[in-house]
Amino acid sequence: MNDTELDEILDTWQAPTVPASLRENVRAGFAANLRQKPLHDRRTHWIGGWLPGPRKSLFAGAALGTGLLLLIVTQALPQPLPPENIPYTVDSEFVRYSDDGSPSVEMYLTSYTNQNGAEALVSRSLPNHPFGTALGRTLDATLPAWQRFILPLTVTSAELEKIKKSRPPSIGFITGCADWTCLLPNRYFFRKAATGGGNECVEGTVVGRETILNYSTTAVELREWNGGKTTLWVAPDLGCFALRITSEAKRSDGSFHLEKAKQAVRVTLKP
């Protein structure tokens, strides 16, 4: 198994759940020192929770110290270089929509589709959050190495091979931020469309075709377990890269509300 195959498995592998007793013990240890403060707008003021100052909680100081330690360690370690044979990169922006429909950009991303059909991260940034950007990039660099270290301790090579063989052909996309801090991106794999079915890359309901940034795309709609829907505009000429992704939530009256979207803004072909 090579590194790219291992990366694909790591993207879908989930670490064991933390025991509830551990979480309760940690909460109990901090309860005496924490001073609760209401969060008026976590999306615009989340960085303030990391900064030390008068009457800040011990947790904020500990989180800041941990983040700075990670930054120092990352700078001391040799950084992996991206592959030299990247055929293109796509610059995208990820937008989150409030209940009234007003948009706000939460992440900028540069990526491409690797040889295994997964969207690979080159770089990303969080607008107006320099510390969050630095910490996110640190996690992007360190977590894959940590996963490679811990995975063999929890899953045998035979089990890894079994997982690899049992997985249906799939295509991976970065669909947005894992949570409101945006320190980690969300990665999902979707079932690949059967060959001979036209220009479709992803298995699902085709709802349209559109040219985006001079590339033909096929819009495929997928229904979610909670009633929402995700639509992907994939470009076959870019290795089935998703130039647009929208996620909509279903309201009680049956209508849909746009929650978040990914939109490609530039495609750069490499010489």
Q: What is the pLDDT along the chain (271 residues), one digit of tens a residue?
A: 445 555 555 555 444 444 555 455 545 544 444 344 333 333 333 334 444 454 444 444 444 444 444 444 444 444 444 555 789 999 999 999 988 889 999 999 999 998 888 999 999 999 999 999 999 999 998 888 887 788 777 777 787 777 777 777 888 999 999 988 999 999 998 988 876 555 678 999 999 999 999 999 999 999 888 889 999 999 999 999 999 999 999 888 888 999 999 999 999 998 8
To the nearest 10 degrees (0 to 180), the angle between helices 3-12 and 157-166 is 80
pLDDT value, residue 20: 54
How many whole angstroms separate alpha carbon 220 and alpha carbon 210? Answer: 11
Q: How far apart are CA 114 and CA 244, in angstroms?
A: 18
Q: What distances in angstroms separate CA 109 from CA 8, 124, 148, 227, one per listed residue?
A: 19, 4, 24, 28
Tell me which residue of 41, 40, 64, 43 sits closest to 52, measured CA to CA: 64
Confidence (pLDDT) at 247: 94
Could you tell me the CA-to-CA distances from 133 to 11, 106, 122, 204 in Å, in that order? 21, 11, 14, 34
User: What span, in angstroms and rounded, lies between the C-alpha atoms of 159 and 13?
Assistant: 12
The residue among 198, 239, 209 whose CA lies nearest residue 113 is: 239
pLDDT for 100? 85
| pLDDT on residue 25 | 53
Cα–Cα distance, 6 to 252 (Å, whole number): 41
Domain boundaries defined on the chain: 3-13+88-269, 21-76
